Structure 1
Amino acid sequence: MINYLGTPMLETDRLVLRKIERSDAQRVFDHWLSDDRVMDNLIKGAHKSVSETIERVTEIVRNYDSKEFCYWAIELKTSGELIGAIDLFNFDSLTENCEVGYSIGYKWWNKGYGTEALRAVIDFGFRQMNIHKISAAHNLDNPASGKIMRKIGMEQEGTIKHMIRNAKNHYKDCAVYGLLQEDYFKNVK
Protein backbone atom coordinates (compact mmCIF):
# COMPACT_ATOMS: atom_id res chain seq x y z
CA MET A 1 0.00 0.00 0.00
CA ILE A 2 1.29 3.48 -0.87
CA ASN A 3 2.24 5.50 2.18
CA TYR A 4 1.21 9.02 1.15
CA LEU A 5 3.39 11.61 2.86
CA GLY A 6 2.73 14.80 0.92
CA THR A 7 5.76 16.93 0.03
CA PRO A 8 8.36 16.86 2.81
CA MET A 9 11.64 18.73 2.36
CA LEU A 10 14.37 16.57 0.83
CA GLU A 11 18.07 17.41 0.73
CA THR A 12 20.94 16.21 -1.44
CA ASP A 13 24.58 17.30 -1.54
CA ARG A 14 23.79 20.37 -3.62
CA LEU A 15 20.01 20.74 -3.58
CA VAL A 16 17.05 21.43 -1.34
CA LEU A 17 13.75 20.06 -2.61
CA ARG A 18 10.95 21.96 -0.92
CA LYS A 19 7.36 23.05 -1.32
CA ILE A 20 6.93 25.83 -3.82
CA GLU A 21 5.57 29.09 -2.39
CA ARG A 22 3.46 31.84 -3.93
CA SER A 23 6.41 34.19 -3.53
CA ASP A 24 8.39 31.95 -5.92
CA ALA A 25 6.15 32.73 -8.91
CA GLN A 26 8.37 35.36 -10.55
CA ARG A 27 11.46 33.14 -10.30
CA VAL A 28 9.52 30.13 -11.60
CA PHE A 29 8.43 32.24 -14.59
CA ASP A 30 11.91 33.69 -15.19
CA HIS A 31 13.93 30.51 -14.67
CA TRP A 32 11.92 27.93 -16.63
CA LEU A 33 8.21 28.36 -17.28
CA SER A 34 8.71 31.22 -19.75
CA ASP A 35 11.58 29.52 -21.61
CA ASP A 36 10.65 27.77 -24.87
CA ARG A 37 13.82 25.64 -24.67
CA VAL A 38 12.53 24.10 -21.44
CA MET A 39 8.82 24.15 -22.09
CA ASP A 40 8.93 22.77 -25.64
CA ASN A 41 9.33 19.41 -23.98
CA LEU A 42 6.09 19.86 -22.05
CA ILE A 43 2.53 19.78 -23.30
CA LYS A 44 1.35 23.23 -22.25
CA GLY A 45 4.23 25.27 -23.69
CA ALA A 46 5.95 28.33 -22.27
CA HIS A 47 4.00 30.79 -20.16
CA LYS A 48 3.50 34.15 -21.87
CA SER A 49 2.97 36.20 -18.71
CA VAL A 50 3.84 36.00 -15.05
CA SER A 51 0.09 36.04 -14.25
CA GLU A 52 -0.15 32.60 -15.90
CA THR A 53 2.64 31.39 -13.61
CA ILE A 54 1.03 32.95 -10.54
CA GLU A 55 -2.13 31.02 -11.36
CA ARG A 56 -0.17 27.76 -11.71
CA VAL A 57 1.85 28.30 -8.52
CA THR A 58 -1.35 29.16 -6.60
CA GLU A 59 -2.90 25.89 -7.81
CA ILE A 60 0.18 23.93 -6.69
CA VAL A 61 0.22 25.58 -3.24
CA ARG A 62 -3.50 24.83 -2.80
CA ASN A 63 -2.85 21.15 -3.54
CA TYR A 64 -0.32 20.81 -0.70
CA ASP A 65 -3.26 20.16 1.63
CA SER A 66 -3.45 16.67 0.15
CA LYS A 67 -1.05 13.98 1.35
CA GLU A 68 -1.29 12.52 -2.17
CA PHE A 69 0.34 15.61 -3.70
CA CYS A 70 4.12 15.46 -4.16
CA TYR A 71 5.54 18.53 -5.93
CA TRP A 72 8.93 20.02 -5.09
CA ALA A 73 10.74 23.19 -6.08
CA ILE A 74 14.42 22.48 -6.74
CA GLU A 75 16.69 25.00 -5.04
CA LEU A 76 20.48 25.27 -4.99
CA LYS A 77 21.82 25.00 -1.43
CA THR A 78 24.69 27.43 -1.95
CA SER A 79 22.82 30.32 -3.57
CA GLY A 80 19.13 29.68 -2.87
CA GLU A 81 18.45 29.93 -6.62
CA LEU A 82 15.27 28.21 -7.72
CA ILE A 83 16.26 26.12 -10.74
CA GLY A 84 13.35 23.78 -11.45
CA ALA A 85 10.62 21.49 -10.18
CA ILE A 86 9.98 17.77 -9.84
CA ASP A 87 6.86 15.82 -8.94
CA LEU A 88 5.37 12.39 -8.43
CA PHE A 89 1.90 12.10 -9.99
CA ASN A 90 -0.72 9.76 -11.48
CA PHE A 91 -0.73 7.50 -8.43
CA ASP A 92 -2.56 4.21 -8.99
CA SER A 93 -3.62 2.67 -5.69
CA LEU A 94 -4.38 -0.71 -7.32
CA THR A 95 -0.91 -1.20 -8.81
CA GLU A 96 0.90 1.11 -6.36
CA ASN A 97 2.61 2.73 -9.36
CA CYS A 98 3.12 6.39 -10.25
CA GLU A 99 4.97 8.69 -12.63
CA VAL A 100 7.68 11.28 -12.14
CA GLY A 101 8.25 14.47 -14.11
CA TYR A 102 10.76 17.28 -13.87
CA SER A 103 11.83 20.58 -15.42
CA ILE A 104 15.20 22.28 -15.00
CA GLY A 105 15.88 25.84 -16.12
CA TYR A 106 18.12 26.07 -19.19
CA LYS A 107 20.88 27.92 -17.31
CA TRP A 108 21.34 24.82 -15.12
CA TRP A 109 21.26 22.10 -17.79
CA ASN A 110 24.18 19.64 -17.99
CA LYS A 111 25.32 20.21 -14.42
CA GLY A 112 23.87 17.02 -12.90
CA TYR A 113 21.06 18.77 -11.00
CA GLY A 114 18.30 16.84 -12.78
CA THR A 115 19.96 13.53 -11.94
CA GLU A 116 20.48 14.57 -8.31
CA ALA A 117 16.87 15.69 -7.88
CA LEU A 118 15.45 12.62 -9.61
CA ARG A 119 17.60 10.29 -7.50
CA ALA A 120 16.31 11.95 -4.29
CA VAL A 121 12.65 11.74 -5.33
CA ILE A 122 12.94 8.14 -6.58
CA ASP A 123 14.62 7.14 -3.31
CA PHE A 124 11.88 8.90 -1.31
CA GLY A 125 9.17 7.23 -3.40
CA PHE A 126 10.53 3.74 -2.92
CA ARG A 127 11.82 3.95 0.67
CA GLN A 128 9.27 6.24 2.32
CA MET A 129 6.14 5.90 0.19
CA ASN A 130 6.51 2.20 -0.69
CA ILE A 131 5.76 2.77 -4.37
CA HIS A 132 5.99 -0.41 -6.47
CA LYS A 133 7.03 1.18 -9.79
CA ILE A 134 7.92 4.69 -10.95
CA SER A 135 7.62 5.55 -14.65
CA ALA A 136 8.66 8.55 -16.72
CA ALA A 137 8.64 9.60 -20.35
CA HIS A 138 10.58 12.02 -22.51
CA ASN A 139 10.17 13.33 -26.03
CA LEU A 140 12.58 11.64 -28.43
CA ASP A 141 13.95 15.06 -29.36
CA ASN A 142 15.05 15.51 -25.73
CA PRO A 143 17.54 12.63 -25.26
CA ALA A 144 19.23 14.40 -22.32
CA SER A 145 16.17 13.61 -20.21
CA GLY A 146 16.51 9.91 -21.04
CA LYS A 147 20.16 10.08 -20.00
CA ILE A 148 19.07 11.39 -16.59
CA MET A 149 16.57 8.54 -16.23
CA ARG A 150 19.16 5.89 -17.14
CA LYS A 151 21.69 7.34 -14.67
CA ILE A 152 19.37 6.60 -11.76
CA GLY A 153 18.59 3.08 -12.99
CA MET A 154 15.41 3.51 -15.03
CA GLU A 155 15.17 1.31 -18.12
CA GLN A 156 13.51 2.21 -21.39
CA GLU A 157 10.44 0.03 -21.80
CA GLY A 158 9.36 1.26 -25.20
CA THR A 159 8.37 4.16 -27.41
CA ILE A 160 4.89 5.55 -27.81
CA LYS A 161 4.22 7.29 -31.11
CA HIS A 162 2.46 10.65 -30.91
CA MET A 163 2.19 10.36 -27.13
CA ILE A 164 1.83 14.12 -26.71
CA ARG A 165 0.93 17.15 -28.73
CA ASN A 166 2.87 20.23 -27.73
CA ALA A 167 1.72 23.84 -27.63
CA LYS A 168 2.84 24.31 -31.25
CA ASN A 169 0.39 21.57 -32.26
CA HIS A 170 3.17 19.10 -33.13
CA TYR A 171 2.84 15.48 -32.13
CA LYS A 172 5.87 14.00 -30.45
CA ASP A 173 6.97 10.42 -29.92
CA CYS A 174 8.08 9.61 -26.38
CA ALA A 175 10.40 7.06 -24.84
CA VAL A 176 8.86 5.48 -21.75
CA TYR A 177 11.04 4.41 -18.81
CA GLY A 178 10.34 2.54 -15.62
CA LEU A 179 11.97 1.34 -12.44
CA LEU A 180 10.65 -1.26 -10.02
CA GLN A 181 11.18 -0.86 -6.29
CA GLU A 182 12.77 -4.33 -6.07
CA ASP A 183 15.26 -3.52 -8.85
CA TYR A 184 16.09 -0.19 -7.25
CA PHE A 185 16.89 -1.87 -3.92
CA LYS A 186 19.04 -4.51 -5.66
CA ASN A 187 21.17 -1.87 -7.37
CA VAL A 188 21.26 1.04 -4.91
CA LYS A 189 24.50 1.56 -3.04
Structure 2
Amino acid sequence: MINYLGTPVIETDRLLLRPLKQSDTQSIFYHWLSDERVADNRVNAAHTSIAQTEERVKKIVSQYKNKEFCYWGIELKGTGELIGEIDLYDFDSSKDNCEVSYSLGFKWWNQGYGTEALQAVVEFGFRQMNIHKISAAHNTDNPASGRVMAKVGMKQEGVIRHMIRNAKNQYKDCAVYGILREDYLKSVCM
Protein backbone atom coordinates (compact mmCIF):
# COMPACT_ATOMS: atom_id res chain seq x y z
CA MET A 1 0.00 0.00 0.00
CA ILE A 2 1.38 3.41 -1.01
CA ASN A 3 2.21 5.74 1.86
CA TYR A 4 1.40 9.15 0.36
CA LEU A 5 3.57 11.89 1.86
CA GLY A 6 3.12 14.80 -0.51
CA THR A 7 6.23 16.77 -1.49
CA PRO A 8 8.67 17.00 1.42
CA VAL A 9 12.05 18.66 1.00
CA ILE A 10 14.75 16.15 -0.01
CA GLU A 11 18.43 17.05 0.31
CA THR A 12 21.31 15.46 -1.62
CA ASP A 13 25.00 16.34 -1.75
CA ARG A 14 24.51 19.16 -4.27
CA LEU A 15 20.74 19.58 -4.55
CA LEU A 16 17.67 20.62 -2.65
CA LEU A 17 14.47 19.09 -4.00
CA ARG A 18 11.63 21.27 -2.79
CA PRO A 19 8.06 22.31 -3.59
CA LEU A 20 7.83 25.00 -6.23
CA LYS A 21 6.67 28.50 -5.29
CA GLN A 22 4.89 31.08 -7.41
CA SER A 23 8.02 33.24 -7.08
CA ASP A 24 9.93 30.57 -9.05
CA THR A 25 8.01 31.39 -12.23
CA GLN A 26 10.72 33.51 -13.86
CA SER A 27 13.47 30.94 -13.22
CA ILE A 28 11.29 28.11 -14.52
CA PHE A 29 10.48 30.05 -17.69
CA TYR A 30 14.04 31.13 -18.45
CA HIS A 31 15.91 28.05 -17.24
CA TRP A 32 13.93 25.33 -19.03
CA LEU A 33 10.31 25.86 -20.10
CA SER A 34 11.08 28.45 -22.79
CA ASP A 35 14.07 26.53 -24.15
CA GLU A 36 13.40 24.64 -27.41
CA ARG A 37 16.27 22.21 -26.65
CA VAL A 38 14.52 21.12 -23.46
CA ALA A 39 11.04 21.22 -25.01
CA ASP A 40 12.18 18.83 -27.74
CA ASN A 41 12.34 16.14 -25.03
CA ARG A 42 8.99 17.02 -23.47
CA VAL A 43 5.43 16.47 -24.68
CA ASN A 44 4.47 20.14 -24.41
CA ALA A 45 5.81 22.97 -26.54
CA ALA A 46 8.27 25.51 -25.19
CA HIS A 47 6.54 28.35 -23.42
CA THR A 48 6.51 31.57 -25.43
CA SER A 49 5.33 33.84 -22.61
CA ILE A 50 5.97 34.08 -18.92
CA ALA A 51 2.17 34.13 -18.47
CA GLN A 52 2.03 30.49 -19.66
CA THR A 53 4.60 29.51 -17.05
CA GLU A 54 2.85 31.56 -14.37
CA GLU A 55 -0.38 29.66 -15.01
CA ARG A 56 1.41 26.31 -14.94
CA VAL A 57 3.19 27.10 -11.67
CA LYS A 58 -0.09 28.33 -10.14
CA LYS A 59 -1.70 24.97 -11.00
CA ILE A 60 1.24 23.04 -9.48
CA VAL A 61 1.34 25.13 -6.29
CA SER A 62 -2.42 24.70 -5.78
CA GLN A 63 -1.99 20.91 -5.69
CA TYR A 64 0.57 20.77 -2.86
CA LYS A 65 -2.17 20.38 -0.26
CA ASN A 66 -2.92 16.97 -1.81
CA LYS A 67 -0.76 14.24 -0.17
CA GLU A 68 -0.82 12.27 -3.45
CA PHE A 69 0.99 15.12 -5.25
CA CYS A 70 4.79 14.71 -5.47
CA TYR A 71 6.37 17.49 -7.53
CA TRP A 72 9.77 19.00 -6.74
CA GLY A 73 11.82 21.87 -8.03
CA ILE A 74 15.53 20.99 -8.34
CA GLU A 75 17.64 23.68 -6.70
CA LEU A 76 21.43 23.92 -6.54
CA LYS A 77 22.43 24.12 -2.88
CA GLY A 78 25.55 26.12 -3.65
CA THR A 79 23.87 28.94 -5.59
CA GLY A 80 20.12 28.64 -4.88
CA GLU A 81 19.45 28.45 -8.64
CA LEU A 82 16.37 26.50 -9.69
CA ILE A 83 17.60 24.24 -12.50
CA GLY A 84 14.77 21.78 -13.15
CA GLU A 85 11.82 19.76 -11.93
CA ILE A 86 11.06 16.14 -11.07
CA ASP A 87 7.84 14.40 -10.12
CA LEU A 88 6.22 11.11 -9.23
CA TYR A 89 2.82 10.75 -10.89
CA ASP A 90 0.21 8.42 -12.34
CA PHE A 91 -0.05 6.41 -9.12
CA ASP A 92 -1.77 3.04 -9.49
CA SER A 93 -2.92 2.04 -6.00
CA SER A 94 -4.07 -1.38 -7.21
CA LYS A 95 -0.45 -2.27 -8.04
CA ASP A 96 1.43 0.35 -5.94
CA ASN A 97 3.22 1.56 -9.07
CA CYS A 98 3.94 5.05 -10.41
CA GLU A 99 5.95 6.93 -13.00
CA VAL A 100 8.68 9.54 -12.71
CA SER A 101 9.59 12.38 -15.06
CA TYR A 102 12.15 15.14 -14.93
CA SER A 103 13.45 18.13 -16.86
CA LEU A 104 16.67 20.08 -16.45
CA GLY A 105 17.68 23.38 -17.96
CA PHE A 106 20.16 22.97 -20.83
CA LYS A 107 22.90 24.82 -18.95
CA TRP A 108 22.94 22.00 -16.37
CA TRP A 109 22.89 18.98 -18.70
CA ASN A 110 25.68 16.39 -18.45
CA GLN A 111 26.78 17.40 -14.95
CA GLY A 112 25.15 14.56 -13.00
CA TYR A 113 22.30 16.65 -11.59
CA GLY A 114 19.59 14.58 -13.28
CA THR A 115 21.06 11.37 -11.91
CA GLU A 116 21.38 12.86 -8.41
CA ALA A 117 17.78 14.11 -8.40
CA LEU A 118 16.37 10.88 -9.85
CA GLN A 119 18.32 8.78 -7.35
CA ALA A 120 16.90 10.81 -4.46
CA VAL A 121 13.30 10.57 -5.70
CA VAL A 122 13.58 6.82 -6.43
CA GLU A 123 14.96 6.27 -2.93
CA PHE A 124 12.16 8.37 -1.44
CA GLY A 125 9.55 6.47 -3.45
CA PHE A 126 10.77 3.06 -2.33
CA ARG A 127 11.90 3.74 1.23
CA GLN A 128 9.32 6.31 2.36
CA MET A 129 6.29 5.77 0.12
CA ASN A 130 6.49 1.99 -0.23
CA ILE A 131 6.14 2.13 -4.04
CA HIS A 132 6.41 -1.30 -5.70
CA LYS A 133 7.65 -0.15 -9.14
CA ILE A 134 8.73 3.15 -10.66
CA SER A 135 8.64 3.54 -14.44
CA ALA A 136 9.92 6.22 -16.78
CA ALA A 137 10.19 6.81 -20.51
CA HIS A 138 12.38 8.90 -22.77
CA ASN A 139 12.37 9.74 -26.45
CA THR A 140 14.72 7.36 -28.23
CA ASP A 141 16.45 10.38 -29.78
CA ASN A 142 17.44 11.45 -26.24
CA PRO A 143 19.70 8.59 -25.12
CA ALA A 144 21.27 10.74 -22.36
CA SER A 145 18.02 10.46 -20.41
CA GLY A 146 18.20 6.67 -20.70
CA ARG A 147 21.73 6.76 -19.27
CA VAL A 148 20.41 8.74 -16.28
CA MET A 149 17.73 6.07 -15.73
CA ALA A 150 20.25 3.24 -16.04
CA LYS A 151 22.61 4.89 -13.53
CA VAL A 152 19.93 4.68 -10.83
CA GLY A 153 19.26 1.00 -11.59
CA MET A 154 16.33 1.27 -13.96
CA LYS A 155 16.21 -1.37 -16.70
CA GLN A 156 14.97 -0.80 -20.22
CA GLU A 157 11.82 -2.86 -20.68
CA GLY A 158 11.07 -2.05 -24.28
CA VAL A 159 10.38 0.60 -26.87
CA ILE A 160 6.91 1.87 -27.65
CA ARG A 161 6.65 3.17 -31.18
CA HIS A 162 5.02 6.57 -31.61
CA MET A 163 4.29 6.76 -27.88
CA ILE A 164 4.04 10.55 -27.92
CA ARG A 165 3.41 13.34 -30.36
CA ASN A 166 5.42 16.45 -29.61
CA ALA A 167 4.49 20.09 -30.07
CA LYS A 168 5.90 20.00 -33.61
CA ASN A 169 3.32 17.30 -34.42
CA GLN A 170 6.08 14.67 -34.73
CA TYR A 171 5.53 11.18 -33.40
CA LYS A 172 8.37 9.91 -31.26
CA ASP A 173 9.30 6.42 -30.14
CA CYS A 174 10.01 6.10 -26.42
CA ALA A 175 12.19 3.70 -24.49
CA VAL A 176 10.40 2.54 -21.34
CA TYR A 177 12.39 1.85 -18.16
CA GLY A 178 11.43 0.47 -14.78
CA ILE A 179 12.83 -0.48 -11.41
CA LEU A 180 11.27 -2.68 -8.74
CA ARG A 181 11.52 -1.88 -5.06
CA GLU A 182 13.06 -5.31 -4.32
CA ASP A 183 15.77 -4.81 -6.96
CA TYR A 184 16.53 -1.31 -5.68
CA LEU A 185 16.82 -2.50 -2.09
CA LYS A 186 19.10 -5.39 -3.14
CA SER A 187 21.37 -3.03 -5.07
CA VAL A 188 21.82 -0.56 -2.20
CA CYS A 189 22.42 -3.33 0.34
CA MET A 190 25.30 -4.84 -1.66
Class of the TM-score when normalised by the shorter of the 2 chains: over 0.9
Q: Which amino acid aligns with 2:53?
A: T
Q: Gapped runs of 5+ residues in structure 1?
A: none
Task: Give 1:185's aligned residue.
Answer: 185
Task: Give 1:136's aligned residue.
Answer: 136
Q: Which amino acid aligns with 1:33?
A: L
Task: Give 1:29's aligned residue.
Answer: 29
Cα offset for 1:45? 1.4
Alignment partners' CA distance in 2, 1:45 and 1:109: 19
Cα offset for 1:177? 0.1
Cα distance per residue 1:67-95 (max 9 Å; x no partner): 00000000000000000000000000000
Q: Which amino acid aligns with 1:85?
A: E
The number of equivalent residue pairs is 189
Alignment partners' CA distance in 2, 1:93 and 1:64: 19
Alignment partners' CA distance in 2, 1:185 and 1:45: 37
Q: Matched residues, percent identical?
A: 69
User: How do 1:47-86 and structure 2 match up within 5 A?
Assistant: 47-86=47-86
Give the 4+ runs in structure 1 shifted more than 3 A: none
User: How do 1:49-128 and structure 2 match up within 5 A?
Assistant: 49-128=49-128
Q: Which amino acid aligns with 1:186?
A: K
For the aligned residues, what is the CA RMSD? 0.5
TM norm structure 2: 0.99
Secondary structure at the aligned position of 2:163 is classed as strand
Alignment partners' CA distance in 2, 1:148 and 1:101: 11
Task: Give 1:146's aligned residue.
Answer: 146
Secondary structure at the aligned position of 1:20 is classed as coil
Task: Give 2:162's aligned residue.
Answer: 162
TM norm structure 1: 0.99
Q: Gapped runs of 5+ residues in structure 2?
A: none
Alignment partners' CA distance in 2, 1:89 and 1:45: 20
Secondary structure at the aligned position of 1:58 is classed as helix
